[in-house]
Structure 1
């Protein structure tokens, strides 16, 4: 994890409510794929009893180098064309050649792919879930509260609209 942003207020934190949480990750292993960067934004984050973390909605972006897709050998002089069809990635080396089809690794419950952006040496998959619920053990919940409290303790005032904790 290279970044953690959270909008916190004293009252919301006391009630188990955090407006938005953004997590930035680098060099992520995702099944057999490797992602150079991933960003997850959870909105309206709160804890329901006994220990269920709820976010609604959740959005993510995952940047993947073409070279990091197993079984794909990009050729530098042919630009690749990438399309998302359902939960499959269709990569075409040339418009006259058939597309190679790759199943996108499994996503967490309720998360669906929403699009793909193509760049010269990588692509970005985007996805979202209307609601994400995750049951936590009390140890995991204590860790989340500890991290949020450490971010909150670095806040200059309760009226600060955003707090960042980089490198945690």
Structure 2
């Protein structure tokens, strides 16, 4: 969502085209050498590409830094791309960005493919979630959120009481 929002801001004055695509790819060792943090294997590649203003080359190395933004005050916190990158890395993936000023920007998100029936697969490098035994009270006015959080907490070993 954040990548699409950024594309909107890049094209809001001049218009343009936003393209979102998803494809399965297989990275071999030669591909991995140019893409940090990835192992050879099957990945889903999510691409978000726009024909907006593009990002100047001197800013490209800063775009994933927390609090970095080119937006006017009140339009963004500068946390969006840093958060996207953090989430992708937590799932043992990677994100890359390519931009050409005046022509647009493309973000490629790579997430490892897990086959059906492999629910308990531990990806290499993925953080282990802590387990607990404590009792936790889950309260929210949205019952769907309550049930979802209860299930997540119980999966982690907690005794979740939902209200």
Same fold (TM over 0.5): no
**TM-score normalized with structure 2 length:** 0.32
From the two aligned structures, give the one with the greater helix fraction. 2
**TM-score normalized with structure 1 length:** 0.31
From the two aligned structures, give the one with the greater strand fraction. 1
Q: Which has the higher contact order (CA 8 A, sep 6+)?
A: 1
